[in-house]
Amino acid sequence: MVRRAGQVHPVDAESSRTKRIDKAALRGGPVRYDPAMHDLLDIRPEVAEALSAGHPVVALESTLIAHGLPYPRNLETARRVESVVREAGAVPATVGVAGGRLCVGLKAQEIERFARGGDTAKASGRDLAAAIVGGGNGATTVAATLVAAHLAGIRVFATGGIGGVHRGRGSRLDVSADLAELAHRPVALVSAGAKAILDLAGTLEVLETQGVPVIGYGTNEFPAFYCRESGHVLEARVDTPFEAARLMQAHWTLGLGGLLIANPPPEAAALDPVEVEALVGRALDDAQSAGVGGKRLTPFLLDRVNELSDGRTLEANVALIEANAALGAELAAAIPALGLC
């Protein structure tokens, strides 16, 4: 059930109010038809057919494949995540720029090429046009994947951790484009909160300013990527895919943008917050000493934290990515199962 400030709101699956809500609000079709889009956006057949039939689809990013995990673990994880989505009854739609087109539903050989690296740039929303016009390959960040999901009509997107406000940047504000893009795209983003390397309080403040609701899934506290707890209490919580779908429906029927569904990492894989904080502090010092910033900062910090933890953060990262993919599939399946699309 959706809870706010200690209140309990019972949900009735058969309520007449649900039946009166315009079902098109959750259909998630493309923003508008534009003939020029045909040369830019490529929704692959399996994804297109699933969307047309009203079957659940989950968007997946490709930056974690090309820039987030080492080879061959990245390829193994990408394949496993797609399998997790299928096992839960949904169609995976891994997004990336391939051959100068924004592709929704990368082919197996394209995912392998991204995993092997070499010619795959990191593409945020602002980079999409240049990547497409340049005719190359680009691994989409959360922001860019949100763009693609919205254009394709996909309502649920699962990732590891969302970007946010970076720590210790002094007078130079470093805020991920993920936050602003989520505010404007009517997509439910499932993540294990924000990456532990970030300023979590600042990230939550920006999300509030942008009007993005942060909903705890089975938790009252904002997860901190590798850790189940962060000390930051959330205002709303859901405990089942049905409850989440009802909340998503209400949000979008009001004409609002994206939602962040904060799913804690699996308990068996979660790390101790005190230990992680110490590791992040050392990684930040190393980044400053090396003069690392911009797009290179997040991959550097994640790699450094993994080295300092003897690989334990990598294992936690993989586990939470799979868990978020499974939950994303359950949320996507709850939409048509409730007759809301």
Within its chain, how far is the Cα of 128 from the centroid?
Answer: 17
149 has pLDDT over 80: yes
- What whole-number distance in Å separates Cα of residue 82 and Cα of residue 110? 14
How many domains is the chain partitioned into structurally? Answer: 1
Output the six-digit token pair for 191: 């993540």
Q: Which member of 181, 195, 243, 322 is catalytic?
A: 195
Cα 139 to Cα 123, 125, 128, distances in angstroms: 6, 11, 10
- pLDDT category at 118 given cuts 50, 70, 90 is confident
Helical packing angle, 200-210 and 177-184, nearest 10°: 30
Please name which of 205, 125, 193 lies closest in space to residue 165, comparing C-alpha atoms.
205
What is the average pLDDT across 325-340? 86
Among 208-217, 257-266, 281-290, the minimum mean pLDDT is found in: 281-290
- What whole-number distance in Å separates Cα of residue 205 and Cα of residue 180? 12
Model-level pTM? 0.88
- Phi-psi label, residue 89: left if phi above 0, alpha if psi -120 to 50, beta otherwise: left
Is 61 one of the annotated active-site residues of the chain?
Answer: yes
| pLDDT averaged over every residue in the chain | 88
CATH code for the domain of 230: 3.40.1790.10
- Phi-psi label, residue 252: left if phi above 0, alpha if psi -120 to 50, beta otherwise: alpha
25 has pLDDT over 50: no
Residue pLDDT, tens place only, 206-244: 999 999 999 999 999 999 999 999 999 999 999 999 999
- pLDDT category at 26 given cuts 50, 70, 90 is very low
Residue pLDDT, tens place only, 181-196: 999 999 999 999 998 8
What is the average pLDDT across 43-62? 96
- pLDDT category at 324 given cuts 50, 70, 90 is very high
Residue 36: the pLDDT is 65
> 311 lies in which domain range?
2-337
Residue pLDDT, tens place only, 81-93: 999 999 999 999 9
- What whole-number distance in Å separates Cα of residue 127 and Cα of residue 146? 13
Q: What are residue 139's DSSP bridge partners?
A: 96, 122
Is 330 one of the annotated active-site residues of the chain?
Answer: no
Among 18-32, 155-169, 292-306, the minimum mean pLDDT is found in: 18-32
Among 42-46, 103-107, 293-297, 304-308, the minimum mean pLDDT is found in: 293-297
